[in-house]
Amino acid sequence: MTHSNADERRVSAAMGYLDAETRTRSNLTISTDTQVKGLLFEGTRCVGVTAMVAGQEQAFRASREVILSSGAIHTPAHLMRAGIGPVGHLSDLGIPVIAALPGVGQRLMDHPSIALSSFVRRGARMNKHTRRHIHVGLRYSSNLPGVPLGDMFVAVISKSAWHAVGEQIASLLTFINKTYSETGQVKLASRDYRSEPVVEFNLLSDKRDLDRLMSGFKMMAAVQMTDALKKVTDAPFPAAYSDRVRAIGVVNTKNRILTKLVAQCLDGPAALRRFMIDKFVVEGFTFDQVMTDDEALEAFVRKSAIGVWHASCTCRMGRADDPMAVVDTQGRVKGMQGLRVVDASVFPVVPCANTNFPTLMTAEKISEAMTGQ
Ligand SMILES: Cc1cc2nc3c(=O)[nH]c(=O)nc-3n(C[C@H](O)[C@H](O)[C@H](O)COP(=O)(O)OP(=O)(O)OC[C@H]3O[C@@H](n4cnc5c(N)ncnc54)[C@H](O)[C@@H]3O)c2cc1C
């Protein structure tokens, strides 16, 4: 698997672009501990932002334009709070409309996924050798009619979390690269910049996505049942990113100690391990259930499918005559002046790939257009 890693660590956009030399440039100011409250306008021209900087409100004036890069969840929220978005929703919240753009916040997309996890036997764990947790992947074709080749992906994940139990649990994470579910949305919960927007992914609104996750799960189950995998794993279970999993994933001393104790039990006799996994890890569906009953498998997939953190498309790029387009091919917000969006929200459709590099490529392309290179 290709990773944007250096020395076993992820390289973020900030690490990759803001190198020591760039940071010394006189035309660059980086403001940390800063949360943007809102966009400033003179009519339909965006002229700056207001922000809380270390708890103090401050205005930043733009010399030419403002570039909004808050990601596919928060960029549409900024636009809607400023009065740029679907008229009905803005009116419901009493926000005066400065640009009626029905596409803002609509068509939120991600890659739907489902996971089959299992306990990794002691000698087979990778954590002694590397921090990397994804080593191999499998791209395959579902061969559903009308669906392009290579529409599916399986990431083989050798540990599931930072803590002691996470290092014992591996997953076959199947996700749909070419998804058709396009009815997700981001809406405002309130006008207050401090309240998080309401996010609905609706990941399985297209039946083809449900069908492919079900067949993908069965395929991974067949892999899981091979002698080679049985030798290094035990106690497979349909995995869910539940509230319990989220709570134990918070990095703190209590979770560190608790997971160390549980990990010791899991490394003990097989019967104790099975009991612990059934009692504390599995939620609702057992492996045997979903393998023998398609209704149970469907219910499990509907309940447990999640995205793979590739939120996109909520301010999509499109032609001037496309009523749902929010920005043009250079990220300029329709009907406004001095305001661009450059992030994963501008994708017209979620790419048939992971989204980090496509986002960087989009930014490179728009910056070239801006600087005339
Ligand atoms: C856990 C995780 C794992 C991922 N793994 C991969 C992977 O392996 N490969 C891959 O290709 N992609 C991966 N992705 C997806 C990839 O990171 C995203 O697609 C990409 O970062 C999107 O870029 P963006 O600029 O749209 O948004 P972001 O990278 O989210 O950037 C938005 C920025 O805006 C800031 N912001 C938001 N609101 C405000 C505000 N009011 N004031 C100030 N700042 C604000 C946020 O803090 C954030 O820094 C992963 C994502 C996550 C969350």
Long-range pairs for 193-198: beta carbons < 8 A, 24 or more residues apart:
193/35, 193/36, 193/37, 193/38, 193/81, 197/73, 197/74, 197/76, 197/77, 197/105
Q: What pLDDT is recorded for position 81? A: 98
Mean pLDDT of the chain: 95
Q: What pLDDT is recorded for position 97? A: 96
Paired tokens of 365: 């392309």
- Closest by CA to 181, choosing from 207, 153, 215, 149, is 207
DSSP result, 316-344: -B--TT-TT--B-TT-BBTT-BSEEE-SG
Paired with 9 in beta bridges are 6
Task: Indicate whether 4 pLDDT > 90.
Answer: no
Average pLDDT over residues 141-154: 94
The residue whose C-alpha atom lies closest to atom 18 belonging to ligand 1 is 356
Q: What pLDDT is recorded for position 3? A: 83
Contact 173, 308 (CB under 8 A): yes
Please indicate whether residue 133 is annotated as part of the active site: no
81 lines ligand 1 (CB under 6 A): no
Q: pLDDT (tens digit, 9 = 90+) per residue, 183-205?
A: 999 999 999 999 999 999 999 99
The residue whose C-alpha atom lies closest to atom 6 belonging to ligand 1 is 356
- Write out the CATH class of domain 113-190+200-304: alpha beta
pLDDT band, very low/low/confident/very high, at 346 (cuts 50, 70, 90): very high
Task: Indicate whether 373 pLDDT > 80.
Answer: no
CATH of 5-105+314-371, one of 3.50.50.60, 3.40.50.11540, 3.40.50.1370, 3.30.450.20: 3.50.50.60
Atom of ligand 1 nearest to the CA of 342: 25
Average pLDDT over residues 78-91: 98
The alpha helices in 241-352, defined as continuous H runs, are 243-248, 253-266, 270-276, 287-292, 294-304
pLDDT band, very low/low/confident/very high, at 8 (cuts 50, 70, 90): confident
Cα 245 to Cα 300: distance, rounded to the nearest angstrom: 16
The residue whose C-alpha atom lies closest to atom 20 belonging to ligand 1 is 356
Atom of ligand 1 nearest to the CA of 35: 42
Average pLDDT over residues 275-286: 85
Ligand 1 center from residue 218 Cα (angstroms): 32
Helix (H, G, I), strand (E, B) or coil at 12: coil
The residue whose C-alpha atom lies closest to atom 33 belonging to ligand 1 is 70
78, 111, 163, 310: the active-site residue: 310
Q: What pLDDT is recorded for position 281? A: 83
Quote the percentage of the chain above a pLDDT of 90. Answer: 88
Ligand 1 center from residue 74 Cα (angstroms): 10
Q: pLDDT (tens digit, 9 = 90+) per residue, 210-260?
A: 999 999 999 999 999 999 999 999 999 999 888 889 999 999 999 999 999
Ligand 1 center from residue 156 Cα (angstroms): 22
Average pLDDT over residues 112-134: 92
Q: Name the percent of the chain in helix, strand, coil, to the closest 5.
A: 35, 25, 40
Question: Which 8-state DSSP code applies to residue 36?
Answer: E
Q: What pLDDT is recorded for position 5? A: 86
Question: Which 8-state DSSP code applies to residue 306?
Answer: B
Q: What is the pTM of this model?
A: 0.94
The domain spans of the chain are 5-105+314-371, 113-190+200-304
Q: What pLDDT is recorded for position 282? A: 83
Task: Indicate whether 35 pLDDT > 80.
Answer: yes
- Closest by CA to 344, choosing from 316, 325, 321, 323, is 316
